[in-house]
Chains A and B, each alone.
Chain A
Amino acid sequence: MIEMVRIILDSITKKFDDFIALRNISLKIEDKEFMALLGPSGSGKSTLLYTIAGIYKPTGGRIYFGDRDITDIPPKDRNVGLVFQNWALYPHMKVFDNIAFPLELRKVPRQEITVKVREVARMLHIEDLLDRYPWQLSGGQQQRVAIARALVKEPDVLLLDEPLSNLDALLRIEVRAELKRLQKELGITAIYVTHDQAEALAMADRIAVIREGKILQVGTPDDVYYRPKYRFVGGFLGNPPMNFVDAEVDAENGYLNVYGSRIPVPAQYRELVEKLGIKEVLLGFRPHDAEVLREKREGLAGEVYSFEPLGREQIVTVSVDGAFVKVFAPEGEHFSFGEKVTVELREDRIVLFDKKTEKALEFLV
């Protein structure tokens, strides 16, 4: 764990017969970084993780741990810890033996095994459970055992394949915070596969958004959340996700026509729109980057379609000439169905996408 472990994926491709699971994936994961691979199911994120672990051999491309090319090295010599969604604990072994198993395979002396297992068990608060069988534990406890087993051999890299998705919602949020802290305390390079955008945003240093075997965007949670490179990224992250509406560019007057409403082209895009000479765009904005106002102002004119109070705030769905957008509004404001309103957008947070490629304009050039 002392050496620097930087992972470099160099144009990784993986084919299963005719099916291309990974397409030319290049990614750099820094030492001690927490990288999330985020994507819908079937996007290839787990395949990528298994390729890094060595369970799948890439059809093309190289993988490096630090300076070492490990593409052709078997999994056991890569020194990775792997945690699975179903935890994969050996049901016939007690917790102690489960955690000790990787060390036994390495022929570590018995005494040292006991010390190390106790140490990692203490770290994960499961030292009282060592004498039990997996089926005698709760989901959360089994999860800790699985992490302990992955950590006990002091791996260079910790690989996690949706480790929280089998836990119930409340527990998931609790473990999330703990796992993040643990990773930083241990200073271990971690790759975390998830389809849950909230998990990725909450835990990762950087997120790689994957779809159909391709990496769409890599960046900090802030980057991918506020500056999505593709419409898909904006729509996949956030709950509710980004709103998208069609807009026509009126370059002469510097306006965008959105279903009969007119709003100025956002300052950050003025030059770009002119340069690209683009006529039709997709306007994206986050539900919390807009306000629902009763008075007539510059913005999207529409009427209240529905509203959902959530305690601290509420989600108001506004129909803008037939297109629905969702906007957060403070609690205590009362709306009624069909009420005429204006949705005022926070200009600097607006993202414009090219309609054809669905790529954000700033990434077009």
Chain B
Amino acid sequence: MRAAGRPARRHATGSRASRVLLHVFLGVGGFLMVAPFLWMLLTSFKSLPQIIADPLGLFPAPWNFANYADAWNAAPFGLAYWNSIYICVLTVAGTILTASMAAYAFARIDFKGSKFLFVLFLATQMVPQQVTIVPLYMIFSALGWVDTHLALIIPAVLCNPFAVFLVRQFIRSLPVELEEAARLDGAGRWRILFSVVLPNIKPGLAALSIVVALSAWNNFFLPLIVLNSEEQFTVPLLLSQFTGQYGGINYSLVMAASAISIVPMLIAFLIGNRKILNSMAMSGMGGS
């Protein structure tokens, strides 16, 4: 995959006028993409009377930094952050492990039924979680996982056909010869996987980690259904409470809460944008 953020190897073409036009088009589009975030930030510092009285006023007068303290104190954000972070970390680590194992088997090991199983994996990707959600909830209930994070972590770790598919693509791009020296040294499958194969596909695994982390972090549907008690809530689920319970009509509080829940993510994105963009492009193209 070619880096999406890298400078073009093709020289820009066209006249000066067309280039200006291009920048105008992309600039207006870009502004429309960013405007809601800016508006969120500005509103989060306003007072409620100001929002009502002057809906078009851009800048808060005065700047109400207390909105953030109010939002943070209104709901257990600290706990929700901790929940989201550790769920995310465990999900990523577990998924990389199980997906790598399965992918290695599909890519390199000759075993009975591997072809059938692989097709089955690809097929299950077609079944969205929303379709199985009612029986899935019953299974969680039978396992005693309702209102626990196990219901979010275990299924994500143990069932990610897309990750298996992607890692299999990575492994297939490696020459088999790489594994042979280790084989001649008497290394088994485990050692080959962990000390030869995985170190060689680190960039791919890093990209997959980003994709998995993002979807674990932003997942809403499953937490909404399995989590009941507030101390178990993830960040998006806690934030959703601001539509009624905590926020309601208090617009600036809702915007401060929204900012609290997304600004760290946006900062991480600004720092690691190149890597994140490339990872998302690569996984979006099916690992090619």
Chain A complexes with chain B: no
